[in-house]
Homo-oligomer: A and B are copies of this chain.
């Protein structure tokens, strides 16, 4: 009996010691594998971010660390048409808002790449106005921008100058300034081809400079032969906003190529753009419109210096925290030679266009722009473009205010006159969230069904 007891003690002791060893190993190695033992000052912020990200908003909203707070806790911010504390309640008669070019369609991609795209900014990160090389632009970020263009094959960057701006928005006006006449008595004439992005006109008129003035449409200008000896600056938007067309310069003088949409998700990339002044934006590339970041690629040194001066005088450059975040995002964008990002984004856009085309094919009352297949060097395949916007035309003669017609069908678009075109046209955004797109499709289907219903009864 005593011997048995002794064995038992010995056996139990052995097991207990074994457990001790296992637990110790777990504490040590488990910690190492997950980098647990390394973290100190960043843990609080990391835990806070993950806690907020884990709040469930039924897939129809999102809670943010800088968001609305109720009783000390962040609460769900619901997407359009959804409500309730967890955003689960759909408002029944809600209109589909397809007005803005908010590129939220890429949000799921970044949720799938959460670990690689998160960024931690320390409290003392880059407090100075300048980087170590005395510039206000991150050289690392510039390298990644060049790398991405080279992978995608959509722009030549070798031997070119790059300037960052607060979105492409700021660069549009900086470019006009840089290309404009230095002689106030004969200001430069700024033009674009109808239909065009309203910001060109708004900015040029708003800043009311003595050096340039907005002169409207290139085509009417050209037909009047006004270009002789006149100083013109032409905006060329390619692909075009609103209609997705790959545009070329009409006047052949000084040009600003707005390439916001020149990425494989929206258009086949037929070759690298190589113009004197090209402008790109993060917004329509990765979907981060809230991160105000764009860049210009410039051939001429003098023009480059003027654009850089503009940015410096306007606001002493781009926030260092924004530049750090953009760097992180572009590092993910170039992973796998860009295939994961652009396959995700292209598939999303193609799917939306397939479904949209099906609806419009049933309608004679409404039409959308024609799309023509082109060879995409990036995907090495001939593909249809899948533009960011549908450019809808109301075909019935009496329906010359297409925006009002759609609005009666609970669809909010942006009227043609905003693009200096006729109101017979309306732009519908296809790059918003999946919820927004689904509701848009539902409302379009309802509208087209009504049309076919009335045809049937005729």
Tell me whether A208 and B211 are in contact (CB under 8 A).
yes
Partner among B102, B110, B129 whose Cβ is within 8 Å of the Cβ of A129: B102
Known A13-B12, A127-B104, A315-B167; judge A119-B121 contact (CB<8 A). Answer: yes
Q: Does A19 contact B (CB under 8 A)?
A: yes
- A40→B62 CA distance, assembly (Å): 19
Interface residues on A, range: 35 or more
Q: Does A458 contact B (CB under 8 A)?
A: no
Tell me whether B13 and A45 are in contact (CB under 8 A).
no
Q: Does A336 contact B (CB under 8 A)?
A: no
Known A203-B313, A210-B210; judge A290-B320 contact (CB<8 A). Answer: yes
- A166→B132 CA distance, assembly (Å): 22
Q: Which residues on B sit within 8 Å (CB–CB) of A120?
A: 42, 45-46, 48-49, 65, 118-121
Q: Does A50 contact B (CB under 8 A)?
A: yes
**Which single residue of chain B is at the shortest CB-CB distance from A12?**
B13
Q: Which residues on B sit within 8 Å (CB–CB) of A208?
A: 184, 209-211
Q: Does A421 contact B (CB under 8 A)?
A: no
Q: Which residues on B sit within 8 Å (CB–CB) of A323?
A: 66
Q: Which residues on B sit within 8 Å (CB–CB) of A203?
A: 313-314
The distance from the CB of A126 to the nearest CB of chain B, in whole angstroms, is: 4
Tell me whether A115 and B315 are in contact (CB under 8 A).
no
- A310→B115 CA distance, assembly (Å): 37
Known A166-B315, A329-B123; judge A128-B114 contact (CB<8 A). Answer: no
Tell me whether B169 and A314 are in contact (CB under 8 A).
yes
**Which single residue of chain B is at the shortest CB-CB distance from A37?**
B36
- A103→B328 CA distance, assembly (Å): 26
Q: Does A280 contact B (CB under 8 A)?
A: no
Tell me whether B140 and A67 are in contact (CB under 8 A).
yes
Q: Does A41 contact B (CB under 8 A)?
A: yes
Q: Which residues on B sit within 8 Å (CB–CB) of A131?
A: 77
- A68→B139 CA distance, assembly (Å): 8
Partner among B43, B166, B206 whose Cβ is within 8 Å of the Cβ of A309: B206
Question: Could you jot down 16 A-B contacts, CB within 8 Å?
Answer: A42-B49, A42-B50, A44-B115, A53-B122, A77-B131, A78-B132, A114-B123, A121-B325, A123-B332, A129-B290, A169-B314, A169-B315, A206-B310, A206-B313, A290-B319, A292-B317
